[in-house]
A and B are shown apart, each in its own frame.
Chain A
């Protein structure tokens, strides 16, 4: 990657972390935890089908958490000068003086070590603005040549490297380097007066080898999805089955489910799954794992936002809920045998939350989920709607959807579906045998769900 000569800190992130922790302890903190991310990258944006803005950026960000007299606070900044570090230590300690103490406040102790390979590729460090621009032009051209009716509203190709470290006063010292090549497309098909719903696609990789070919396949997928939405007509109202595409399974069904599986949601009384450990919460074919330890995945990391080693976690097995996701704070609050599952989420610029890394839903056995006895089935490629995270009630519009009826398949618009997420998990009647990787963060099959309310406009 070409050097821009900008003011990214030349200092080692681990050294900055150690300095911050020492400064906080010297200033009166009982415990301190610092995370530093130092990154640089190049990116070329596509607008209206053309290479638009070409950019380079560098930034070093730190986040500091302290506990003093049982009170916890957080500060972050993008300036690692001595003056800013000192001001930040002072500011975060001042915050603790007005925050009530909480017994469970504690940072993570040193523990297991996880090794994840293939997160860093030196070839990506050599990428320049010229490389991102050439690939962005090729990506735009690939869409245009596959079908000129598709217009790219926006897109990008980027290469980046990030070095990060995390240190706490209990003895954790972790660091890693990771590279990423990424590309995305957002746009729609326009054919005269006929405008299809927008669609998008993306590709990302830790390695340069194979990235260009994968990116150009993204152009094909994106174009085909956009074109499929042309000619959409009226849908049909009924109560019955719908099929969620892998994208809808990941971005609607699982993203809402994962919220209910985080220990903070459970503790706050906002998860209907709170008292369901060991019970059936989904159909028996439903098995869900989270795994941040897979080599060469952009979502992988050997440690989480609190420095705890990551691990493969089986969350739901054959429909039965096996565990919630914990960070250190939530595990302490839960008490008993609860331990952090390595799911402290976030970056240096925010205090740790709880969240998944990379989820896999087991494949089913069906090859054609749209098969029916002639009755209607709606295929939901994307869901644009509202889900009440507490109750699970959802309602929204089917995007790039199709109605299959009497063996005929046609695109539809202005069709809404409504139901309850947690009932839908139990009403899954089949999962497809094929799975797709969605946004590099979920490997999932399609799902057929019964008893959904479908309303046509």
Chain B
């Protein structure tokens, strides 16, 4: 059922519910095709729809979900959530405070691209994946295998709360992934490129068409075959927007999620303190700031709060945590629109959306030219961070910089450090900007589509490599 069709049912249920009730209808349809070594490995479609209901009663939360949006089932779900809340209320040492007033959303907030991607045929999408996989395989005799995956997620939501939210929206998130495996004399290496966006195909391919990414994945795999290893140890590094994105998401963003702060993350008690170089301004936004199509875009969060821009660090000073309505009440601030649920059966948690570092005023060329020795790092392979702010990212492409000039490609590079310490060493920020994590998913009990990015930055970090 379209979200607009279920809105009246939710409004009627909320009107007769009493107390605080949050009703969220969420329909999600995902389609994907994977082509590998010339064969369509899989073609699949997934549709999940239903209603998630939260109540706040006697100072405790209750949640229930149902795959139906029929009025009788909605009513039963509210009753189940109430029963659940009652069972938890007596076990809390402190009641959850009443929720603060917030800028609650009303109306439709649909995003562009949905109709365009729906109208493109499955044949066209499968054809593109087959063509690009072939392009990767055909680009070099050293490429022994290739994969191309195309997927798209359509979402429809209607969110109604008893204190005034009544919002709906549709959006679409297409993604393209390409991988090349190169082989020579028993040595193997891989090249991986991925793009993801919130919007149509024009937006998905705004940094280059499919052939561009196919060629890049193949070139990286082949070039890495003959690459050496870097010297391990502390080094001056220039981080590309993809690595900056991972850094601000994994190593800073998680530590400023208010639930993690409450548990004692490294950001606890640091509001108003200097935590980074004064060149660093770091934000999280539900909108796609500075460039269209960020993959974590949401107009409204899953509590019905408008998902605006939050400045986390301004000119090096920690300014805000990321909040849902409950944590905002605890900290005496306004909610920041960061409550997100993956599917209808998931409760909203504090999650990031599009997290980024604001650009500065130096060109990348100037930054490289003024580096006597270091590495330019691009293309994250994966990443993890800790409560301490300690992070570790694998890096796909690392180029040594010697006397202001880019040198040889090295492989097997891992970069690590304590996030706030690393950000305190930032001495140069480029004037360019790019979202570059749009194909990424964040895991925190449940997945979330997020994006992250920024300019190039120069800082100091610990590189892993050969001894």
- Among A50, A84, A128, A397, which residue has its beta carbon within 8 angstroms of that of B94? A50
- How many chain A residues touch B (Cβ–Cβ < 8 Å)? 87
Query: For chain B, which range describes its interface: under 10, 10 to 19, 20 to 34, or 35 or more residues?
Result: 35 or more
With A53-B62, A77-B48, A414-B418: A395-B412 Cβ-Cβ less than 8 Å: yes
**Chain A binder among B4-12, B63-71, B150-158:** B63-71
- Among B47, B262, B345, B414, which residue has its beta carbon within 8 angstroms of that of A396? B414
**Chain A binder among B236-244, B286-294, B383-391:** B383-391
- CB neighbours of B181 from chain A (8 A): 269-270, 390
A237 within 8 A of partner (CB): yes
* Contact between chains at A50 and B92 (CB < 8 Å): yes
- CB neighbours of B80 from chain A (8 A): 4-6, 56
- CB neighbours of A153 from chain B (8 A): 259-260, 263, 387
Contacting residues of chain A (23-80) with chain B, CB-CB under 8 angstroms: 42, 44-45, 47-60, 71-79
Residue-wise, chain B 130-164 has the 8 Å CB interface mask toward A (1 for contact) of 10000000000000110100000000000000000
Q: How far is the CA of A400 from the CA of B194 in the complex (A)?
A: 33
A137 within 8 A of partner (CB): yes
**Chain A binder among B33-41, B99-107, B430-438:** B33-41
Contacting residues of chain A (7-31) with chain B, CB-CB under 8 angstroms: 7-8
- CB neighbours of A57 from chain B (8 A): 64-65, 345
Q: How far is the CA of A391 from the CA of B87 in the complex (A)?
A: 52
- Among B37, B61, B263, B265, which residue has its beta carbon within 8 angstroms of that of A54? B61
Q: How far is the CA of A268 from the CA of B260 in the complex (A)?
A: 41
- Among A71, A78, A416, which residue has its beta carbon within 8 angstroms of that of B416? A416
* Contact between chains at B190 and A388 (CB < 8 Å): yes
* Contact between chains at A98 and B126 (CB < 8 Å): yes
* Contact between chains at B44 and A73 (CB < 8 Å): yes
Residue-wise, chain A 138-158 has the 8 Å CB interface mask toward B (1 for contact) of 000000000000011110000
Residue of A nearest to B386 (CB): A197
With A50-B93, A413-B388: A6-B264 Cβ-Cβ less than 8 Å: no
* Contact between chains at A74 and B44 (CB < 8 Å): yes
Instruction: With a 10 A CB-CB cut-off, give which of B67, B190, B411, B414 has the most chain A CB atoms.
Output: B67
A305 within 8 A of partner (CB): no
Contacting residues of chain A (383-411) with chain B, CB-CB under 8 angstroms: 384-386, 388, 390-391, 393, 395-397, 399
Q: How far is the CA of A47 from the CA of B388 in the complex (A)?
A: 19
Report the minimal beta-carbon distance from A323 to chain B, rounded to whole angstroms. 22
- CB neighbours of A168 from chain B (8 A): none
Report the minimal beta-carbon distance from B450 to chain A, rounded to whole angstroms. 18
Q: How far is the CA of A91 from the CA of B45 in the complex (A)?
A: 8
B408 within 8 A of partner (CB): no
B393 within 8 A of partner (CB): yes
Residue-wise, chain A 311-327 has the 8 Å CB interface mask toward B (1 for contact) of 00000000000000000
- CB neighbours of B40 from chain A (8 A): 71, 99-100, 102
**Chain A binder among B110-118, B166-174, B296-304, B458-466:** B458-466
Q: How far is the CA of A195 from the CA of B419 in the complex (A)?
A: 14
* Contact between chains at B64 and A52 (CB < 8 Å): no
Residue of A nearest to B28 (CB): A78
* Contact between chains at B62 and A418 (CB < 8 Å): no
* Contact between chains at A92 and B67 (CB < 8 Å): no
Q: How far is the CA of A395 from the CA of B43 in the complex (A)?
A: 34
A365 within 8 A of partner (CB): no
A211 within 8 A of partner (CB): no
Residue of A nearest to B126 (CB): A98
With A99-B43, A272-B188, A453-B466: A195-B76 Cβ-Cβ less than 8 Å: no
* Contact between chains at A390 and B264 (CB < 8 Å): no
A350 within 8 A of partner (CB): yes
Instruction: With a 10 A CB-CB cut-off, give which of B36, B68, B381, B412 has the most chain A CB atoms.
Output: B412
With A386-B393, A455-B462: A239-B467 Cβ-Cβ less than 8 Å: yes
* Contact between chains at B63 and A55 (CB < 8 Å): yes
* Contact between chains at B263 and A75 (CB < 8 Å): no
B445 within 8 A of partner (CB): yes
Q: How far is the CA of A266 from the CA of B464 in the complex (A)?
A: 29
Residue of B nearest to A238 (CB): B467
Report the minimal beta-carbon distance from A442 to chain B, rounded to whole angstroms. 20
Q: How far is the CA of A48 from the CA of B49 in the complex (A)?
A: 31
Residue-wise, chain A 100-137 has the 8 Å CB interface mask toward B (1 for contact) of 10100000000000000000000000001110011011
* Contact between chains at B145 and A270 (CB < 8 Å): yes
A210 within 8 A of partner (CB): no
Q: How far is the CA of A237 from the CA of B42 in the complex (A)?
A: 46
* Contact between chains at B122 and A98 (CB < 8 Å): yes
Task: Please report A residues at the B interface, Cβ cutoff 8 Å.
Answer: 2, 4-8, 42, 44-45, 47-60, 71-79, 84, 88, 91-92, 94-95, 98-100, 102, 128-130, 133-134, 136-137, 151-154, 187-188, 190, 195-198, 237, 239, 268-270, 272, 349-351, 384-386, 388, 390-391, 393, 395-397, 399, 413-414, 416, 418, 453, 455, 457
Task: Please report B residues at the A interface, Cβ cutoff 8 Å.
Answer: 36-37, 39-40, 42-50, 54, 60-68, 70, 73, 76-77, 79-81, 83-85, 87-88, 91-94, 121-123, 126, 130, 144-145, 147, 181, 183, 187-190, 232-234, 259-260, 262-266, 268, 345, 347, 381-382, 384, 386-388, 390, 392-394, 411-414, 416-418, 445, 462, 464-467
Instruction: Report, nearest first, the 4 A-B pairs whose CB atoms are least far apart.
Output: A386-B394, A153-B263, A190-B264, A395-B414
Given contacts A51-B60, A53-B61, A388-B381, 7 further A-B contacts (CB under 8 A): A6-B65, A47-B259, A59-B67, A74-B42, A75-B47, A79-B47, A188-B387
Question: Can you name 8 A-B residue pairings with CB atoms under 8 Å?
Answer: A44-B88, A55-B62, A55-B347, A95-B43, A98-B122, A269-B144, A384-B384, A386-B414
